[in-house]
Chains A and B, each alone.
Chain A
Amino acid sequence: MLRFLLSRVTLIVPTFMAVTLASFLLIHAVPGDPIEVRVGEHGIAPERLAMLRHQFGLDQPLWKQFLDYEVQLAHGDLGLSVVTHASVWDEFLTLFPATIELAACALIFAILVGLPLGVIAAVRRGTAFDYGLMGVSVTGASMPIFWWGLMVILVFSVALGWTPVSGRIGDMFYIEPWSGFMLIDSWYSDDKGAFKSVVQHLILPTIVLGTVPLATIARMTRSSMLEVLGEDFIRTARAKGLSPVRVVVVHALRNALIPVVTVIGLQMGGLMGGAILTETIFAWPGIGHWLVEAIQRRDYPVLQGGTLLIAVLVMAVNLGVDVTYGFLNPRIRR
């Protein structure tokens, strides 16, 4: 098992290096050098420009600059935002919990709803429920979520007035950030109305971000269950006289879960992409919103650092899924 783990980790090192190279080249592909971008349209004296270029090491050959960048990264330094002059890493850390809270809620929602629906559809294969669910799930998987988000706002916030339109918590509440996760922070605050407000703000973004994963998980569960339900050991379990629920839940579902777990792990990249759109629509103060604003302000260090951090996050999650998979299925450990 340790060897398996080590081989996976070593595989990731060259990919990580290549990703840092990609993010390094990104800033160099932008027209104009970082200094000119930083001073903006005001212009700058040529001598001063040369001095600044020297100060930031921009007069060095490209390979030297790349090595410097790697060293800088190794120290956890992602540079400063051009707009706020704050450290990119600090800004990321402040906003990250909001995105994780939203993504986690969306994933939990998708699993809690998608998994049972997929199981029921497989058990009742060929019924109206099965066809209906498959129709709905292919629609869900095709959903342009930026439009879907606006439509649910129109219905539930504007027309019905059930939920707030944007943000993480009502304006009348102030919660001292402790964990950064509003659900936790507001639960431990003295004001019990705050928690309710947080939940209300979370509902719509969760549904919107969870729609595509939900559809994918339901489809995957159904087809994986169908495959397992046709196996001999299921017939044996039935023949033993076990109750249908026990056969489905204990015998079939456990074996059907492996591909489903993989699919759930693979949702991470999609969730991050979806978070960009969802956060933009709901003015959710997270990483996606931050990156979109960075583009509009041409804040390239933020774009570079944020993209790199998300890529590292996705790599870490993929590694985790790989390792979990190795645990669940000893055959692939070699």
Chain B
Amino acid sequence: MKDFWRSYAQNRGAVVGLGLMVVLVILAVTADVAAPFSPIEQYRDAFLAPPVWMEGGSFRYLLGTDDVGRDILSRLIFGTRLSLMIGFMVVTLALTVGTSLGLIAAFAGGIVDIVIMRLMDVILVFPSLLLAIVIVAILGPGLFNAMLAVAVVILPSKTRLVRASALSELAKDYVTATRSAGAGTLRLMFLSVLPNCLAPLIVQASLGFSTAILDAAALGFLGLGAQPPTPEWGTMLAGALQYYQRAWWVLAFPGLSILITVLAFNLLGDGLRDALDPKLKR
């Protein structure tokens, strides 16, 4: 663990990413306390109030309010909770299904392997955002369907990764030894092989978080993800489209939140890769 931290801390960007992540998680957990107002409460006395440092801004609404008088800062803080939840759900779903499919493909081989991997190839042929859009268009707009669509879109990379590392593990002596000791296939799959494939999976999970948050926000922006008044960042941007030329703050802050969160997970993923995979070390 100490070694891990030392090689992780060498990458300064990764430390920044971790720091950002800690802040985001704290905000998400304590949103009820940290946010000054409710995310959906409308204050009729303050439509499109500018942020505190601008003329006409007040300390009451630090980052200003939107067109119906909701406090932007509070919406952003609750949005953090939502975005981390989206990332978590999507990655968990994609990892569970992807790991199972990858292990099955590697262990079964033959026709099962071919069918699973061709299916993944088909998913990969569609540009990921387009496929997510099409899936949501069929299932109907909404946060849950958007998460499902994004999970499908990031599934192939997980499946391919697990299959490839499981195949290289299967060729090793310890697998033969375990097998001749009488271990069943399931035990071999999950207790012997899978733990040895974990390092690249952890990296992929972190990068998957950033893709999930970015794509879910893009769907929200196109009106296909979370529906108003949910304080989802992409949905907030979509709502700001009509008047953003008059009130830039309604647009700027949700997007900045997406950028910072995605950046944090990408930095984290890069750092984990450097620390966990000695082959890629500079």
Contacts and interface: CB of A to CB of B under 8 A. Distances in A.
B130 A280 contact: no
Given A26-B138, A138-B266, A144 B130 contact: no
A142 B13 CA distance: 14
A22 B134 CA distance: 11
B262 to A, nearest CB: 4
Nearest to A18: B122
Interface of B: 13, 118-119, 121-122, 124-131, 133-134, 137-138, 210, 214, 217-218, 221-224, 234, 237, 241, 244-245, 248, 251-252, 254-256, 258-259, 262-263, 266-267, 270, 282
Interface residues of A, number: 43
A314 B125 contact: yes
A20 B17 CA distance: 42
Contacts of B122: 15, 18-19, 22
Nearest to A22: B122
Interface stretch (A43-51, A246-254, A267-275): A267-275
A146 interface: yes
Contacts of A142: 210, 214, 259, 262-263, 266
Contacts of B252: 151
Interface in A103-155: 134-135, 138-139, 141-144, 146-148, 150-151, 154
Given A138-B266, A138-B270, A295-B224, A147 B255 contact: yes
Contacts of B210: 142
Contacts of B126: 19, 269, 307, 310-311, 314
Contacts of A144: 214, 217-218, 234, 255, 258-259, 262
17 contacts: A15-B118, A15-B121, A15-B122, A30-B138, A138-B13, A138-B270, A143-B259, A144-B217, A147-B254, A150-B237, A150-B244, A150-B255, A151-B252, A226-B282, A272-B130, A295-B133, A307-B130
Nearest to A28: B138
Nearest to B221: A146
Contacts of A26: 134, 138
